[in-house]
Amino acid sequence: MRKSAVPSADCLNDDVSWSRRDLLRMGGMAIGGLTLADILRGQAAGQGGTSSKTSVIFVRLGGGPSQFETYDPKPQAPAEYRGVFKPTPTKLPGVQFCELLPRQAAMADQIAVIRSVHHEQASHIAEHILETGYDLVNSGNTRAGEMPSVGSIVSHERGLNPAGLPGYVALPTIFAYAGAHYLGSEHQSFGVRDDPNAPDFKVSNLSLNEKYSTLDRLQGRRQLLSQLDTMKRARDLHGSTAALDKFTEQAFNLVTGEQAQRAFDLRQEPEAIRDRYGRTTLGQRLLLARRLAESGVPFITVRDGAWDDHADLAGKISVRAPIYDQAVSALIQDLQERGLAEQVLVLAMGEFGRTPRINAMGGRDHWPAVNSVMLAGGKFKMGQVIGATDAEGAHVAEAAYRPQNVLAMLYRHLGIDAGMTFPDYFGRPRYVLEEREEIRELL
């Protein structure tokens, strides 16, 4: 049975030298009460020893996109079901997507779409299934959740990469249920709240802010607490980082190290590449995710919210879907051109689909009976549509799968055994996934 390591945070002695104390004061990064050093320490101590270089970019379409207006149009259904958008042919014979996704339609031979994912939870607490692979038993756990998230398990098993980058990065930050739970807070995500589409974008977690310059004010902050140049000068002048333990040094290097800084620096990208992804928040986040995966971060989640279209679906999705289509198709193309398609798996899904019939407000409501999921990359079989729904897009008609089966493919790609166990808070062994049947059509 696998056990997680939850080391205690370092304590500073009163008689340490000025340089050690001040370096920690300048470089400490408090994340939920733990410093970045604590997170790096825990990830290194708990990693499961896999040497795989694979990564996952998990695009979370928060709110639940409509299957009709994305990957499963129903042009022959009555108007109140099919909606106002037309289908468009894809590169796969006989397969159509919604006209809002022309770029992905043109590269359908390079992706796989599962039209037959389903579950029973019609509330947004269905996020728990996608983040953990488990149904939420107690609906009162509206934020904490009841199991560790996929990203935290990946952090535990894969740990730090050679550049000292965390194993789990969230763009912009984790949502409900995406935490570490009983694996320990050192396996929380490293969040990048800053908008990479902003002209002055920088990762504030990797910058230093003069406003918070004392150790007391450092506590509980998510920001670094001085200026980056000041910290670098302190290192050069006092040469005291040798006094820090190995993991505080890794935290220090994440802030000052060229390789880690470069991974987060979108200015390294040609303008043409940035334009290809789209000068949007989502486009630039997916570009940043590619840079992180390329640098060895094994799990990056990118959240694109606001797909919860209970009203005016046509007006809202006609803006949002093209942004998503451009960004994700650019990511897939970019990974292929860089020879990273087999190394990096892209997964895009929401917590459920939408109701077959358009409601009185011109929207669609929650519908867990049908959900479309898109995958690209890995060593899986692309160029196919898996499963099918009935004529009205209401129920699965063929090859029914659940979100847990999708996550099983994610773990397979990362070389993580979904059948291993971790002890929960009560010492009971809990499987990574209790339902872990893989999607055979992808193999």
Average pLDDT of the residues in 414-439: 96
> What local confidence, expressed as pLDDT, does residue 88 receive?
98
Q: Is residue 426 part of a domain?
A: yes
Domain that holds residue 434: 56-195+297-442
pTM of model > 0.95: no
Residue 246's pLDDT band (cuts 50, 70, 90): very low
> What local confidence, expressed as pLDDT, does residue 216 receive?
38
Q: Is residue 435 part of a domain?
A: yes
> What local confidence, expressed as pLDDT, does residue 207 receive?
59
Place of tokens 């670098």: 232
pLDDT digits (tens, 9 = 90+) for 180-194: 999 988 888 889 999
> What local confidence, expressed as pLDDT, does residue 38 receive?
60
Of 157 and 37, the one with more pLDDT: 157
> What local confidence, expressed as pLDDT, does residue 257 receive?
66
Q: Is residue 277 part of a domain?
A: no
Q: Is residue 240 part of a domain?
A: no
CATH code, domain carrying 309: 3.40.720
**177: region left, alpha or beta (phi > 0 left; psi from -120 to 50 alpha):** left
Q: Is residue 386 part of a domain?
A: yes
| Least confident interval from 27-31, 291-295, 356-360 | 27-31
Q: Is residue 208 part of a domain?
A: no
* CB burial readout 64-76, b (16+ within 10 A) else e: bbbbbbbbbbbee
Q: Is residue 275 part of a domain?
A: no
For residue 29, pLDDT over 90 is answered with no
- The number of folded domains in the chain is 1
Determine the Cα angle at 153 with ends 3 and 155, to 5°.
Answer: 100
Average pLDDT of the residues in 332-349: 98
Start-end of H helices in 159-245: 215-218, 228-238
Distance CA 328, CA 66 (A): 17
Average pLDDT of the residues in 372-398: 98
In the three-class reduction of DSSP (H, G, I as helix; E, B as strand; rest coil), residue 435 is classed as: coil
pLDDT digits (tens, 9 = 90+) for 286-302: 999 999 999 999 999 99
> What local confidence, expressed as pLDDT, does residue 202 receive?
87
Q: Is residue 223 part of a domain?
A: no
